[in-house]
Amino acid sequence: MLQRVWTIARWTMVELLRERVLYVVLLFAAVLVGGSTVLTPLTPGAQKKVVVDLGLAAIDALGILVILLSGTSIVRRDMDRRSLDVLLTKPLTRLEYLGGKWLGLVATLLVLTVAMSVILITSLEACGFGWQARYLPAILGSGLGMLVMASIAVLFSTFTSPMLGALFTLALFVGGSLSEGMLRTVGAAGGNPLLESLSLAIPNMGLFNLRGDAVHGTGVVPGQFLVASCYAVLYVATALTLAATVFRRRDFR
């Protein structure tokens, strides 16, 4: 089983890299260098914070951008090229296929994140600000968020067009990022059970946002990271299982 999943993952990764997804790294470098050059003179005394904030936010945002642009068409591409028909005649379950697709997307994101992190480290060192190990949890947190968003993109790619899939994925990302603040606002006004139930279905992206703690050096509580990891694993498992269920119902004849 693992062999089959790995084969699909490798194939997906090669496919995504051929789509020149790695150009995102160049975009990151441009954002970081351009942003640092333009913005730091405007923030005397807080230049380092600006570069780190910008770098960590860009790693996260560009990862999400890749998921929206490539992840949401990951299954549709195989359908359009009819390669899915051939694949499904092989001894390969639909869950294995989707798991492989997700893993391929995640592997591509891993390559991108590592490359962007190396650029961030290099630019921090080059500017004389110095890289600090405390920034690492923020990147790992972003990585966990990307795992979750990738699984959502794969889920939508099984039953919608890439355009709609990207829109739905973006909506869940925005909703997930806002859910904590919204709940706080609603909670202050007496609470709303419907909204609270809905917030459990959308990914809690705030859980993966460890950038504030990393930048201000307050440190990430290990328990927080553990909870975020467990949540990510459970969310990914649920989303992929749901995707497989939807995908199984589809008729490709």
Give the interface with other proteins as residue ranges (CB under 8 A): 39, 42-46, 49-50, 53-54, 56-57, 60-61, 173-174, 177-178, 181, 185, 205-206, 208-209, 211-212, 215-216, 218
The residue (of 175 and 229) whose beta carbon lies closer to other proteins is 175
Q: How far is the CB of 62 from other proteins (least distance, A)?
A: 12
- Specify whether the CB–CB gap between 100 and 209 falls below 8 A: no
**Residue 10 has which token pair?**
């490798």
Q: How far is the CB of 60 from other proteins (least distance, A)?
A: 7
Q: Please state, in angstroms and rounded to a whole number, the distance separating the CA atoms of residues 125 and 218.
A: 22
The residue (of 43 and 161) whose beta carbon lies closer to other proteins is 43
Q: How far is the CB of 25 from other proteins (least distance, A)?
A: 19
The residue (of 44 and 190) whose beta carbon lies closer to other proteins is 44
Q: Please state, in angstroms and rounded to a whole number, the distance separating the CA atoms of residues 96 and 90.
A: 12
- Specify whether the CB–CB gap between 143 and 106 falls below 8 A: no
Q: How far is the CB of 165 from other proteins (least distance, A)?
A: 20
The residue (of 28 and 208) whose beta carbon lies closer to other proteins is 208
Give 115-126 as a 3 state SS string: HHHHHHHHHHHH
Estimate the share of the chain in helix, then strand, then coil, as percent rounded to the nearest 5: 80, 0, 20
